[in-house]
Structure 1
Amino acid sequence: MPTFANGNTLDEHVWNARGDVVELTLQPRPDWGTVVRVLGYVNQARMGIYRDASAKAKQTGQTPDIRQDDHPGRIKWGGGLNIEQPLADAGETGAFLRLGYDDGKTESFAFTEVDRLASVGVQLSGGHWGRPADRLGIAYALDGLSPEHRHYLEQGGAGFVLGDGRLTYGLERILEVYYNWRLLRYVHVSPDYEYIENPGYNRDRGPAHVFGLRVRVSF
């Protein structure tokens, strides 16, 4: 784990600064191609606790600062569920569902600030419109914060990604669409668009529009 939230220097004291992960992969119906992955993790690092930082700020009348409450070896746990379902075209057309949860009590440390998430999406093979090497993907995601994390930000606290001094909380909603186009035999071009409602979990912000382009060349 890094020495501070989202830092680029790793803490060498692995007995109280590390991440432990376990993942179980299941195929309940091999004939359907369904894949289910269950993930659990425990992180240890020099983290603060949102509730304690908020309580101290209330006592002193100051803005809460999670960094003033950090302590080595604190624990953050969480888990996730990923389901992938091929539908047609040898698996090139399929759907997925992902769920994630963490305790939301200790400081977000890496690599983003989210405590609850759910996403669903589909990919379609271009063979359905005469472009068998192309792919069209559509996904929708909901991201949220724990009550403790939310209250900390509402008081004016900041994390390594979030914190503009005021939070009018709302779930972050993201719609993403991409198209993977085979331009040449060894060249694929993928334009991407994201529509983000309540960016940073703030109803006073956005919506935001994000455009991207990826080029892949195979040799």
Structure 2
Amino acid sequence: MPMRNKNIRPQRRPPCLGLLASVIFTFGATAVQAYDVTSSPYLLGDWGGMRTRLEEQGVMFSIGYVSELAHNFSGGTEDLTRYTDQWAFGTTLDLKKLWGWQGATFQFTMTDRNGRNLGADANIGNNMLIQEVFGRGQTWHLTQLWVNQKLLEDRLEMKLGRLTVGEDFFSFSCDFQNLTFCGSQPGNLVGNYWVNWPTSQWAARLKYHTSQETYVQTGVYQVNPNYVDDSWARHNGWKPNNPSGTTGALIPLEVGWLPTWQGRPGSYKFGGWYNTSDGDDLYLDVNHNPRGVTGLDPLKRSGQYGVYLSFQQQVTGTDGGRGATVFLNFSHADRNTAQLDHQITMGVQYKGPFASRLQDSIGFAIGATHNNGRFADFVRQNNARTGQNVVAGNGYEYVTELYYSWSPVRSISLRPNLQYILHPGGTSINSNAFVIGLKSSVTF
């Protein structure tokens, strides 16, 4: 067992912390005087009424900050603490109020990510990020740049521009800190072409509301490896350009049912996807022989695909008030090309655990991510041929997370959490990890 490094090097304080402190110090007092900070959704209040006046004219601004601190007490090769964060700056325009453009909305969002990845720095070997907000390059991203048009008495919606797949397909909250339970699940399995926040690509989405409770939607999303290349993102991630190298299109399809049960909301989604791009077979070579043995190029598979479901239902309390909501999510990608071929999660979240703490919540979830055995067989054979000692799991990585979300005021959330990772990377070779974290968010 490698020795643990107890001499932890001090980290440079993220520059955004100083900016956050200065913003609060400079504007906080004014915001409190002009607006009740305890009930306002914005820490800086209504900007002396300017926010309300702009919204009445069709202009809304949003500024948000999320930070995630994590320390591993076991697992990996080093005891470390790591910090990562994200700033998000957005503008929403009601084009009817501004220009009389009936049923049209414009959205623009830029994000900036900074920090370090605990799993990588401590050599934990995990598949799913311990700090979900890390990733896609620690830099600026053009996250949203689109127009959404409603037609046919708002039954039909057409969205065009730079989109993130997960904002529309398999959309799911990001209350937990571990990526296993955060956001659009297919992106956890095939993130090389299913691109979630904060990365966007040129796309179009069509959604039809078949009734007040049901809908069907599909879309076409550009697949280009540059979008998920961190080195490309550092120089181009913030630009609304169209890079060369497009390999195909991602075409998702989703059917949704949004019922109420005893007055409590539910969400039931079924979907699938097809990527027209060719994919490398994980095990076979161009001659349909084991490529780990032959060392030849992989067989090219025509298209890549998968299916998913997502269930959420509030089971106690009242709509919008206190109560428990349960969820079950499942995704499965094709075993020919996906190193992580399926993931299943379930959990419960309880809003307002105490009568005096209506903005607080408690969450608990368990999840399993499976490593494709076809890829593990390739790695084993390739190790025997080349003398390498690469580790590739062929089982499940199990993750459990428990959090308590405390909101001292409506615009701030402090969410300490405990995470336990069993068989990181889907193999017992990696030591189990116990992590304590703190996810914080501020809406300005």
TM range (shorter): 0.7 to 0.9
Q: For 2:345, what is the secondary structure of its paired residue?
A: strand
CA 1:19–1:187 in 2, change beyond 3 Å: closer, same or farther? same
The alpha carbon displacement at 1:13 in A equals 5.7
> Is it true that 1:213 corresponds to 2:438 in the alignment?
yes
| TM superposition score normalised by structure 2 | 0.40
| TM superposition score normalised by structure 1 | 0.77
> Is it true that 1:57 corresponds to 2:292 in the alignment?
yes
Query: Hey, what's the Cα distance between the residues in 1 that align with 2:256 and 2:341?
Result: 23
- Quote the residue 2:313 is aligned against: 85
- Quote the residue 1:75 is aligned against: 303
- Quote the residue 1:120 is aligned against: 346
Retained in 1: the 8 A contact 2:375–2:392?
Answer: no
The alignment's C-alpha RMSD in Å is 3.0
Retained in 1: the 8 A contact 2:270–2:310?
Answer: yes
Q: For 1:155, what is the secondary structure of its paired residue?
A: helix
- Match for 1:38: what amino acid? F
CA 1:212–1:70 in 2, change beyond 3 Å: closer, same or farther? farther
Query: Hey, what's the Cα distance between the residues in 2 that align with 1:174 and 1:190?
Result: 18
Query: Hey, what's the Cα distance between the residues in 2 that align with 1:127 and 1:142?
Result: 27
Identity of aligned residues (%): 20
> Is it true that 1:7 corresponds to 2:229 in the alignment?
yes
Q: For 1:154, what is the secondary structure of its paired residue?
A: helix
- Quote the residue 1:176 is aligned against: 401
- Quote the residue 2:165 is aligned against: none
Mark the runs of 5 or more structure 2 residues left unpaired by the alignment. Answer: 1-222, 233-241
- Quote the residue 1:48 is aligned against: 280
Retained in 2: the 8 A contact 1:47–1:69?
Answer: no
Count of residues in correspondence between the two structures: 201
> Is it true that 1:140 corresponds to 2:366 in the alignment?
yes
1:75-115 alpha-carbon deviations (Å, 9 max, x no partner): 11101110001012335521000111111101x4xxxx521
Retained in 2: the 8 A contact 1:117–1:142?
Answer: yes
Residue number among 186, 197, 210 corresponding to 2:411 in the alignment: 186
CA 1:45–1:12 in 2, change beyond 3 Å: closer, same or farther? farther
- Match for 1:203: what amino acid? S
Query: Hey, what's the Cα distance between the residues in 1 that align with 2:243 and 2:389?
Result: 28
> 4+ residue stretches of structure 1 with deviation over 4 A?
8-14, 28-32
The alpha carbon displacement at 1:211 in A equals 3.4
- Quote the residue 1:160 is aligned against: none
The alpha carbon displacement at 1:186 in A equals 2.6
- Match for 2:435: what amino acid? V
Residue number among 95, 100, 108 corresponding to 2:326 in the alignment: 95
Query: Hey, what's the Cα distance between the residues in 2 that align with 1:164 and 1:194?
Result: 29
